[in-house]
Amino acid sequence: MEGYLLESDVYFYNGDFQRSLQLLNYALRINKSYLDSNPAYIYLAKSEIYLQLKNPDNSYKYSEMANNLMRSPRTLNQLVEIYLLSEDFSKALGLVKIMTEYSDNNPLLLITIAKVLLYSNNSYEQTKALLETILEIDDKNEEAFGMLVTLFLNNKRYELATELLGERVQEFNKDYYYVQYGDLLTINNDLSEAVLSYNMAKSLNPKNQRAEDGLARINELESSGELQDDRVNIQSFDDPNELSTTQSHSEPGDSFVFNTPSSSTMDTSFSIMLQNTLRED
């Protein structure tokens, strides 16, 4: 039984969500008593798989079942992820308000709040302050980094996005960050550095079409001698779940992990300020 569950987790982390679900269901068929002894875990695991399969209805059904049995930041966060997938930002924000009362210093909660604020187009300054606070606590948190880049791009703060990516793109070393950086360098007419950035993206992911498009655009610019403002084509994360998968997974079935020091290190006054801001929205 445990072997099938572990194998299901392996397929989940490798992106084969259909196979992961098949193994989970098979494990439950050969040992029905396991569901009775670990119902919340099983329901949450199913919810997370269905979320990755872009099936919000089934994901919501199992997430609600898990939350009714074991209400926690993780189960509440899963519901928020489902609302974001469904683009129901009002429900996501409403649930976040409940979560602030449930545990206003939980680090998982803080990044969930930032995600909801980001995708519901709430306060730029508030979201920026929250993400920067998270990175002060855990400067290796890639999800917060990616969200901060997206926040800058969505709000046309291109200089800030360029500075942030320039400082840390090599550290996180992902093809989509190199593409974003290449786009911004192209805007700044730093074409030689942009070529290097696009080529780095291609070395990490030879199938990255955005990198190919960026190199082709630079060839056109160099041929024509003109610089085009192509800011509308800068790549950001449009899919909320693309953000949540940038983090590595450290627990079986946990699709959303926030690795920080103890929540006791969080500035309580900042959390109170954030909670008050949410109530005002």
- For residue range 215-265, what is the model confidence (pLDDT) as tens digits? 999 999 888 876 555 554 555 544 433 433 333 322 222 211 112 222 222
pLDDT tens-place string over residues 77-135: 889 889 888 888 778 878 877 776 665 556 677 787 888 878 766 678 888 988 888 88
Q: N- to C-terminal Cα distance for the chain?
A: 47
Q: Does residue 77 contact residue 67 with C-beta atoms inside 8 Å?
A: no
* pLDDT of 98: 75
pLDDT at 3 over 90: no
Quote the mean pLDDT of the chain: 77
pLDDT at 276 over 80: no
**Measured distance CA(134)–CA(203) in Å, rounded:** 30
Is residue 47 scored above 80 in pLDDT?
Answer: yes
Residue 235: partners with Cβ closer than 8 Å, 6 or more residues away: 176, 179, 180, 183, 210
Q: Is residue 29 in some structural domain?
A: yes
* Long-range contact set of residues 56-62: C-beta below 8 Å, sequence gap at least 24: 56/82, 56/85, 56/86, 59/85
**Burial per residue of 181-219, b for 16 or more beta-carbon CB atoms within 10 angstroms, e otherwise:** bbbbbbbeeebeebbebbebbbebbeebebbebbbebbe
135: in domain: no
Residue in 195, 193, 184 with CA at minimum distance from that of residue 220:
195
Rounded to whole angstroms, the Cα distance separating 187 from 235 reads 13
- In the chain, the percentage of residues whose pLDDT exceeds 90 is 37
- Domain residues for the domain of 192 are 142-246
- What is the count of structural domains for the chain? 2
Q: Is residue 198 part of a domain?
A: yes
Q: What average pLDDT does this structure show over 254-277?
A: 30
**Does position 74 have pLDDT exceeding 70, yes or no?**
yes
- Whether 126 is covered by a domain: the verdict is no
Using alpha carbons, select from 4, 87, 15 the residue that is nearest to residue 48: 15
Asked if 154 and 236 touch (Cβ cutoff 8 Å), the reply is yes
- Asked, for residue 205, whether it belongs to a domain, the answer is yes
Among 13-17, 48-52, 251-255, 274-278, name the most confident range.
48-52
Pick the range with the lowest mean pLDDT from 45-59, 88-102, 183-197, 253-267: 253-267
What CATH number does residue 169 fall under?
A: 1.25.40.10
What pLDDT, on a 0 to 100 scale, did the predictor assign at position 123? 78
For residue 258, tell me if it sits in a domain: no
The length of the chain is: 281
Least confident of 110-114, 167-171, 188-192, 248-252: 248-252
pLDDT at position 172 is 95
Asked if the structure places residue 99 within a domain, the reply is no
How many whole angstroms separate alpha carbon 85 and alpha carbon 91?
12
Alpha helices, H only, 173-249: 175-187, 191-204, 209-224, 240-244
Cα 177 from Cα 172, distance rounded (Å): 8
pTM score over 0.75: no
Kindly state whether residue 124 falls inside one of the protein's structural domains: no
User: 59: pLDDT confidence band, cut at 50, 70 and 90?
Assistant: very high
